[in-house]
Copies of this chain bind each other. A is one copy, B any other.
Amino acid sequence: MKRIVLKFGGTSVGTVENIQKVANIIKKRHKEDKEIIVIVSAMSGVTNELKKKSELISKNFDSKELDTLLASGEQASSSLLSGALIDLGIKARSWLGWQIPIVTDNNHTSSKIIKIKTQGILKFISEGGVAVVAGFQGITTDDRVSTLGRGGSDLSAVTVAKFFQTDLCEIYTDVEGVLTTDPFINKKAKKIDKISYEEMLEMAALGAKVMQPTSVQAAMIDNIIVHVRSVFSEKSGTKIVSESGIDYKKVVTGIAYSKNDAKVTLVGAEDKPGVAADIFEPLGNSNINVDMVIQNISSDGKKTDVTFTIKREDLRKTLSLIEKNNKNLNYQKIIHDDKVSKVSIIGAGMIVNPGVTHKMFRSLANERINILAISTSEIKISVLVQEDSTQKAVKALHKAFELD
């Protein structure tokens, strides 16, 4: 008999009606004669509401108590869903973190799962029961409630799939899967049938909307096949698998872009060992996330230009940190531009297909889009462009790489 994990997010169980709808989906899957472990998030809005209360009480609310507080959300949703299943005549019960138990480390609010005891649930599902596991939560070795951090229920699902050696981990959500690009800026965006873990991670925001990167990474490490699909449709969604499981007919899998970027160039910085470290160390210390970094070989071996991108909201702070540091860096001037965005093509297929870079640059040139900077990895090529040409760039690349 097949054993599967079905995970339902906060929107899927956001109302009583949705909970009943989810119960009916589970009932249908249960009839397929499968052993079913369900993972459920808190009803949408509940976690934020509880979080807000804690913040009103203290700006520095105790992390152990915060975990106990937040875990109550999944306790409620798992029992409501179990009750709905029982009402449909299905044997079901809720399993809280401590009842299984799901044991985590003591790193409250972003704990890592150490182990999951499978005995109780295995017995229950072997007797035809549907186990409804409260997502996001576990307990530490000293019996305190812990939580797994952002997107924790996805992580619960992947880790449960691992420990229970299930055949599949299905993430039910409110979208039909991972799309080739953002449908808001390109109506021709299409659902991707299969995507590799690495591609999914490189898809950044586009992928993260569907599944948190930490959970994708966890699935990658243990080679768990994840199927992201919609609660509103019976159609198959996107399967996240290892690269070897994909037959790459297309070179590029998806087109991603980032908004709200800013570009900073240090013109004529001293070209000496350690200059890059000197530039970025103070930024790192101030929690400023540097994305692309481009440094050209200097023509005279004495001066070089260093360009990097950051989030737009960090621009002011970045400039002030750089200026403070000028004695060290000894640059001639700073140029900055807060109206840029990054457009990327992602595809594991490009590793074995030469000419992708050229094709990308050509199609942007055809649209008269100026490339401000370039950075590449094994399965991703990113270019920095003026923000107002983002949409044009995405559309051109989507078409050029036959994703339309």
A residues in contact (CB < 8 Å) with B: 16, 19-20, 50, 53-54, 56-58, 60-62, 64-66, 68-69, 71-73, 75-76, 78-80, 82-84, 86-87, 93-94, 96, 98-99, 143-145
A79/B68 contact (C-beta < 8 A), A53-B16, A57-B16 known: yes
Contact A87 B58 (CB under 8 A): yes
User: Main SS of the interface on chain A?
Assistant: helix
Name the residue of chain B whose CB is nearest to the CB of A73. B72
A111 to chain B, nearest CB (A): 16
The answer for the CA separation of A64 and B95 in the assembled complex, in Å, is 12
- Min CB–CB distance A91 → chain B (angstroms): 11
Contact A19 B84 (CB under 8 A): no
Enumerate chain B residues within 8 angstroms of A16, measured Cβ to Cβ: 53, 56-57
Residues from chain B with Cβ under 8 Å of A71 in the complex: 75
Q: Is the CB of A87 within 8 A of B57?
A: yes
Closest chain B CB from A51 CB (angstroms): 11
Q: Using A16-B56, A19-B57, A57-B84 as known contacts, say yes or no to A69 and B62 having CB atoms under 8 A apart.
A: no
| Contact between chains at B84 and A78 (CB < 8 Å) | no
Check B80 against A94 for contact (C-beta < 8 Å). no
Query: Given B56, B57, B86, B145, which contacts A65 in the complex, CB threshold below 8 Å?
Result: B86
CB-defined A-B contacts under 8 Å, sample of 6: A53-B80, A62-B83, A65-B83, A69-B83, A72-B79, A98-B98
Q: Cβ of B50 and Cβ of A65 under 8 Å apart?
A: no
Least CB separation from A17: chain B residue: B56
Q: Contact at B69–A99, with CB atoms within 8 Å?
A: no
Contacting pair B72 A57 (CB below 8 A):
no
